[in-house]
Structure 1
């Protein structure tokens, strides 16, 4: 299990600041449910608190076994059950058994990963220019990988002549070509959400502007084609017929 070491100092402070006989770090994914154990003794006097709420106001107790939002439940053995955990549940939880002066503390770490937002250049890019894409997302633990796709095929970002990456969440396409027109998306992962659990954005269309010339012999029409990523504007000029 991946331990978030920046929480360890919080646990140590709690252990010394309150009469704690047990401390632990519990990791859980957003959307899951989990029970935080207390003990099997003096269960009739067990009260659960969060460090972010008032010490005088337990979230559950023998008098109030179910919290107002219905997601916190005091079990018969004194454990705290949390249903459908979300990011806001990340906190320090501790149960107190007042008859024996026992306190058990748990640091609940909620792992999550947001669907990424793909940012394309705000203006049309032209042939020969460079274009930078940004794949923006948040998660716990931090992101460690982003995979890039064009038309649902994985891009070969190892081709450093074509692609440049200053980090895993940015991609620069070097010297744009018509072949770079297409639909792009990215997939992000962290230690908690890997492979099929990674998050992807909906594909976005990327256009490239270029200018070309087409001449048709029959009928004798000269076409000047101004093309922007697959959308065609034609400017037509009649060529007078040849007279003998």
Structure 2
């Protein structure tokens, strides 16, 4: 007897049915048996020897003695032997490799939402299994400061089951994703939302404002905090509530930031003074003061017409004397009206 190939490599995915081929020529009266990677006899001719019902012999052709393993497991991987009881024994080796798709173990991984205080170090874990060992990559899905429904994913850190973020800031508050891939079936992923907590910070776009009696005005205060627990406009230590005089609206500007807008109607003299915007959570407190002044308008007095100054012009007379000799440049003499011109002597004839 002889085999078609002395060695065959077979790769299967855990859970599938795998075929280990063995084709014998000129078998005659000899018998075929299968042994597993532990040298345990599995079959003799077409009969199963062991109790494992996953094992069967399939013979699509007269010379085929193929071993089928249904629902193959990782533990089934190894070197199998198809033997013919000749002397010496003839053996064909079939090397079975079993792959397993990646899986993420939730119980050994970080929770789906992690809370951390600003400036601390956070450690995110994705514990995975699979054969071959999966590669784990980390991504940050930047949902902040983006249009609604838009996700921008960027790869961060190094490959591995653990991602460490040191000295974390509020700008790291986002959704993180680990993706495990080993080339078997589709990759597996898990998202972890990281929430960074920090004390309140208050910003006043304008700290001072003047307004006239009887008018209305609006005071704005921006509060940034996480979590947002308490924020209000106060005066003299008393929280201002909505009334006919005051109306407070809250606007969500962007993540972790809101604006407290307070409208003051029909301002009277007692309404001028200091207003305080304050906020507090479990990590701290902040406040800023706003100064509202009275706008006093004054009417200017009529202006006195200025005196008109009259200037008397000064006349200048110009006299020209042309000498008889033409080789000289004419000389001009200038005299004022208050000084008569000098008399000119006539040159005697001769």
What is the TM-score normalised by the length of structure 2? Answer: 0.47
Q: Deviations over 1:173-207 (max 9, x none)?
A: 344233433333211112x32xx711223x23322
Q: Distance in 2 between matches of 1:34 and 1:153?
A: 42
User: Is the 1:147–1:154 Cα contact (8 Å) retained in structure 2?
Assistant: no
In the alignment of these two chains, the number of paired residues is: 205
Structure 2 residue 158 is matched with structure 1 residue 171:
no
Q: Distance in 2 between matches of 1:90 and 1:206?
A: 40
Structure 2 residue 26 is matched with structure 1 residue 39:
no
| Alpha-carbon spacing, 1:40–1:24, altered in 2? closer, same or farther (3 Å) | closer
Structure 2 residue 81 is matched with structure 1 residue 94:
yes
Q: Stretches of 4+ moved more than 4 A in 1?
A: 120-123, 213-216, 235-238
Match of 2:134 in 1: 143
Q: Distance in 1 between matches of 2:112 and 2:15?
A: 34
Q: Deviations over 1:76-133 (max 9, x none)?
A: 2111112232212112211212146211122211112331244369984222333232
User: Is the 1:225–1:234 Cα contact (8 Å) retained in structure 2?
Assistant: no
Match of 1:200 in 2: 189
Structure 2 residue 90 is matched with structure 1 residue 108:
no
Match of 2:322 in 1: none
Match of 1:50 in 2: 36
| Alpha-carbon spacing, 1:63–1:31, altered in 2? closer, same or farther (3 Å) | closer
Structure 2 residue 233 is matched with structure 1 residue 233:
no
Q: Distance in 2 between matches of 1:236 and 1:212?
A: 12
Q: Distance in 1 between matches of 2:76 and 2:269?
A: 85
Task: Report the 3-state secondary structure (helix = DSSP H, G, I; strand = E; otherwise coil) of the residue aligned with 1:88.
Answer: helix
Q: Distance in 2 between matches of 1:39 and 1:84?
A: 23
Q: Which has the higher helix share?
A: 1
Task: Report the 3-state secondary structure (helix = DSSP H, G, I; strand = E; otherwise coil) of the residue aligned with 1:93.
Answer: strand
Structure 2 residue ranges without an equivalent (≥5): 144-150, 205-216, 241-267, 271-350
Q: Distance in 1 between matches of 2:50 and 2:172?
A: 54
CA root-mean-square deviation:
3.9
> Shift in Å at residue 147 of structure 1?
4.1
User: Is the 2:137–2:155 Cα contact (8 Å) retained in structure 1?
Assistant: no
Task: Report the 3-state secondary structure (helix = DSSP H, G, I; strand = E; otherwise coil) of the residue aligned with 2:71.
Answer: coil
Once the two structures are superposed, the pairs formed by residues 150-169 of structure 1 within 5 Å of their partners are 150=141, 153-157=152-156, 164-165=157-158, 167-169=159-161
Structure ranking higher on relative contact order (CA contacts 8 Å, 6+ apart): 1
| Alpha-carbon spacing, 1:204–1:67, altered in 2? closer, same or farther (3 Å) | farther
User: Is the 2:12–2:97 Cα contact (8 Å) retained in structure 1?
Assistant: yes
Q: Which has the higher strand share?
A: 2
Task: Report the 3-state secondary structure (helix = DSSP H, G, I; strand = E; otherwise coil) of the residue aligned with 1:119.
Answer: coil
Q: Deviations over 1:46-66 (max 9, x none)?
A: 21111326x4xx223336248
